[in-house]
Structure 1
Amino acid sequence: MSSSPEENIAKVLLVVEAFLGGFYVSITRGLFIPMISYSGYSLGNMALILLPTGLSGSILSLILYRYSDSLTRKFKFLAFTTHVTERVVWFLLPFLLGNIELISFTYMLGNLISAVVSIFIGALIYSYFSSIQDVINVSVWRSAAGAVASLLGSLFMTFVSYVYNPPQSYIISYFAAFVIGLGSSLAFILVPKFPSQIVEKQQETPVEVIVRGHSAFLVLTFMLAGSNLVGLSWTPFLKSLGAPIYIALALSVTGNIGGTLGSFLFRGYKSYMVGLVANTLLTGLIPFISYPYAHVGISFFTSLTFMAANLLAMQIFAEVNARMGRIKASAFLVAGNYTGLLIASMVAYIFVKDPFTGLILSAIIKFLAVIIVLLAIPETAIIPGRKAYEFSRLIYSISLTGFTFTVQASKEFLKTFFEAVTLMTLALLLYIIYKLAFLIIGG
């Protein structure tokens, strides 16, 4: 079935949005870690900056998954508003480098708005195109366009960092990203017949759909957790090798070339599995390479193979979104991003004392994703499909039990905490009354 003229125009505009947005994202996100690292922030402080973002992003995604109606009723208005607001918030970061609390809050706020924007874009694609193949094609072209633009953005910020000294170089790069980012907002707004609201069918999601989505979520979460931990540790590791900042920024250049090629290289579940295994092995090699310039080449191959994880999750959620709900499917995907960031920042803060350890742990975390791919997703499993599904059901049951216990424990902890605060407040109040009475009587 051929696409309508509106759908063809929408495809072009969504790819343009991804292209311009890719330039904006590559600078605002890609420059952030090197910027704070070379501004004197320790690995522990960097983890503290990212920790609130990962936690709040995960909670927000869960809330929007549970209460998706809050986004569907004013879909068009909220999509446009958040898309523009996100660009404004991220532009503020280079001006806040001297204050860890402000930069942490602004980074968290920018990511929360980005999470909502990502959910809107995903829901729009799922609802606009009825064919799964159209959804996958648009997503692949958006990934490729974003990767090409990210390459240009990486080249731009590397050149600016080479020519200008900080903080001038940071401000120039972020301002350019802000302007180009507004162009992506314009392309987004011009999508024809943009739905004012999305009507979801009121139906209970089948267990097998939830289990399948859960397996994809875990794979994406562990891969992103490992990738974020690599991002936190790689720049300090290069700094410890004596590499200048433009070498750290050059990782983004070759990484984006690899990401562009990876968008077209992997096709089908078996190729996704090969890509994930290769990515994990390459990640394990990083801390053992002492020649700084060789890391620029490794970045190419890690980014190329990492696309397999994105495409695997994308294909699974494209297949189940009709039965899960478009907002819920998008929220599930976005939750993987922020849960991965949360895990990476917690591991970095608690366990990582040096960049070498961080890189080793990142490979171990990615290996967990490989285990799930090999044992719990029928299309990629090395065991019979039925056994893989049973294993995925087992993982889901264990995760659900753990989540339920955690939520209940959190409720009990908060209840106890507030009771203790109340008792302490009453005790303090009685003490003040007693002291006043003593002073009055004594006086």
Structure 2
Amino acid sequence: MERPNQRTLAKILLVAEAFFGGFYVSITRGLFVPMMAYSGYRLDALSAVLAPTGLGGILLAHELYRNPRRVTGRFRALLLTAHVAERVLWLLPPLLLSNPYLLSADYLAGNIVSVLVSMSLGILIYTLFPTREVIEVSVHRSAAGAAASILGSLYMTFITAVQQAPTSYLISYLTAFLAGLVSSITLLLTPNVPASIQEAVEAAPPHEEAKIKGSVVFIVLIALFAGSNLVGIAWSPLLKQMDAPVYIPLALSVAGNLGGLVGAYFWKSYRGYLVAIAINAFLTALIPYIPYPPAHVAISFMTSLTFTGANLLGMQVFAELNERLGRVRASAFLVSANYAGLLVASLISASSILTPFSGLILAAFLKLIGVLMAMLAIPETAVIPERRAYEYSRMIYSTSVLGYTFTVQASREFFKTSLEALALAALITLLYVIYRLSWLIVGL
């Protein structure tokens, strides 16, 4: 077992990794949608770039959930390689703005690697620290990331105010890349990062009760993250319609990160998490009705402060389920929920008839669904007796499994039928070509 001072050093370095990583993420992700919106991309075009990313993230997390050894076998090498590769891929977006296909491919690749990084960091925290310290480390990392994100948001707001696009984009992304490399160095120096990981539950199916609770929380998080991502997609175009200057959407990031910093220490219990996400759903519904652009900055602070409750809810539940699900599977649940939410939001906003106003209303509705499910189907946050909540969670789990099985089977049948139809069409085309050639030969 590692010495206490090594564990303390690991905590410090992981918090430092979150700090420099938070600066890097706040710029590369925070500037991405405003950069596209102010470069002429419409809402449906934004969705076309974002949708493949959500699907790719889900598929990768699902594969790693089914085969944990793909991560655990060469854990340290995979973590460090993915960590650096992610930073390189996120340096490229301002260079690819003129080509939406290359931009979408780079965004997809960057986020696929981000799945590996997020999962691996979660697994590392579950490995280095006992369950009681996982939330402590996660909260400190969240606060450090939020504090650095404030600096990053202020920096990119200043750069976009004093420099014209696209120069401001290039400067911001290059600075973020350098900060991201520093976070990779702190991770490299972290002690006791294992070369490989052995899990007792790796080859065994997870405990049924753990699967039920994990699946229900996963669905709740999907609804909340889908609403959050839809807000992120629709808010900047709404402000553009209001003729707000470009620094207003960027100021949302500053206020949002400040709210995240406060929220990391504000919500302390499962009941607090429920109150937080309920307030967040209400505030989201107010956004499209506020006509004064600077007031949106204050709303951004409050929505981020309250949305921290969703993140903490997921962290705490899966930290408690870690021993029964396994570190890889618990981390896969938590990470893939975010990407599933991104996919849902992207598919919704891909509709050309969806406006920023209606997108924000729909975001509030999705969050409300998550709140209601948390009130009824998660025993720790339920407002009904625990036994009844568990019965509801089993019902939701069974329904979701049935729906998943039906969807997979229907997809297979559709794919099979499509292949048969294509083969038949190819055969008919070939026969027609042979028929025409025979007539040409006879004619000659």
- Which bin holds the TM-score, normalised by the shorter protein? over 0.9
Write the deviation string for residues 153-202 of structure 1: whole angstroms up to 9, x where unpaired: 00000000000011000000000000110111111111112101111113
Secondary structure (helix, strand or coil) at the match of 2:233 reads helix
Q: CA deviation at 1:352?
A: 5.1
Write the deviation string for residues 53-75 of structure 1: whole angstroms up to 9, x where unpaired: 11111111111111111111111
Write the deviation string for residues 301-324 of structure 1: whole angstroms up to 9, x where unpaired: 000000000000100000001110
Secondary structure (helix, strand or coil) at the match of 2:294 reads helix
**Off by >6 Å, runs of 4+ in structure 1:** none
Write the deviation string for residues 255-289 of structure 1: whole angstroms up to 9, x where unpaired: 00000000000001111111011101110110110
**Within 2, Cα distance between the matches of 1:104 and 1:275?**
34
Q: Is the contact made by 1:219 and 1:309 (CA closer than 8 Å) also made in structure 2? A: no
Which residue number corresponds to residue 76 of structure 2? 76
Which residue number corresponds to residue 88 of structure 1? 88
Letter in 1 for 2:335: V
* 1:135-284 correspondence runs (5 A): 135-202=134-201, 203-284=204-285
Q: CA deviation at 1:52?
A: 0.8
Write the deviation string for residues 66-120 of structure 1: whole angstroms up to 9, x where unpaired: 1111111111111111110011011111011011111111111111110111010
Secondary structure (helix, strand or coil) at the match of 1:378 reads coil
**Within 2, Cα distance between the matches of 1:438 and 1:28?**
62
Does residue 16 of structure 2 align to residue 16 of structure 1? yes
Which residue number corresponds to residue 134 of structure 1? 133
Which residue number corresponds to residue 97 of structure 1? 97
Q: CA deviation at 1:215?
A: 1.9
Q: Is the contact made by 2:30 and 2:253 (CA closer than 8 Å) also made in structure 1? A: yes
Letter in 2 for 1:373: A
Q: How many residues align?
A: 442
Letter in 2 for 1:312: L
Which residue number corresponds to residue 61 of structure 2? 61
**Within 1, Cα distance between the matches of 2:191 and 2:163?**
42
Which residue number corresponds to residue 438 of structure 1? 439
Secondary structure (helix, strand or coil) at the match of 1:159 reads helix
- Give me the CA root mean square deviation: 1.3
**Within 2, Cα distance between the matches of 1:21 and 1:136?**
19
**Within 1, Cα distance between the matches of 2:178 and 2:311?**
28
Which residue number corresponds to residue 52 of structure 2? 52
Q: Is the contact made by 2:128 and 2:192 (CA closer than 8 Å) also made in structure 1? A: no
**Within 1, Cα distance between the matches of 2:391 and 2:335?**
26
**Within 2, Cα distance between the matches of 1:286 and 1:180?**
33
Q: CA deviation at 1:428?
A: 2.0
TM-score under structure 1 normalisation?
Answer: 0.98
Which residue number corresponds to residue 29 of structure 2? 29
Letter in 2 for 1:441: V
Secondary structure (helix, strand or coil) at the match of 2:380 reads coil
**Within 1, Cα distance between the matches of 2:426 and 2:24?**
49
The runs of 5 or more residues in structure 1 that have no matched partner are: none
* 1:372-411 correspondence runs (5 A): 372-411=373-412
Write the deviation string for residues 126-174 of structure 1: whole angstroms up to 9, x where unpaired: 1111x21211110000000000011110000000000001100000000
TM-score under structure 2 normalisation?
Answer: 0.98
Write the deviation string for residues 380-425 of structure 1: whole angstroms up to 9, x where unpaired: 1111010001101111110010011111111111111122222222
Q: CA deviation at 1:435?
A: 2.1
Could you say if the C-alpha distance between residues 219 and 174 of structure 1 is closer, same or farther in structure 2, counting changes exceeding 3 Å?
same
**Within 1, Cα distance between the matches of 2:302 and 2:237?**
20
Q: CA deviation at 1:5?
A: 1.7
Q: CA deviation at 1:218?
A: 1.5
Quote the sequence identity (%): 53
Could you say if the C-alpha distance between residues 334 and 393 of structure 1 is closer, same or farther in structure 2, counting changes exceeding 3 Å?
same
Q: CA deviation at 1:357?
A: 0.3
Q: CA deviation at 1:431?
A: 2.1
Q: CA deviation at 1:430?
A: 2.1
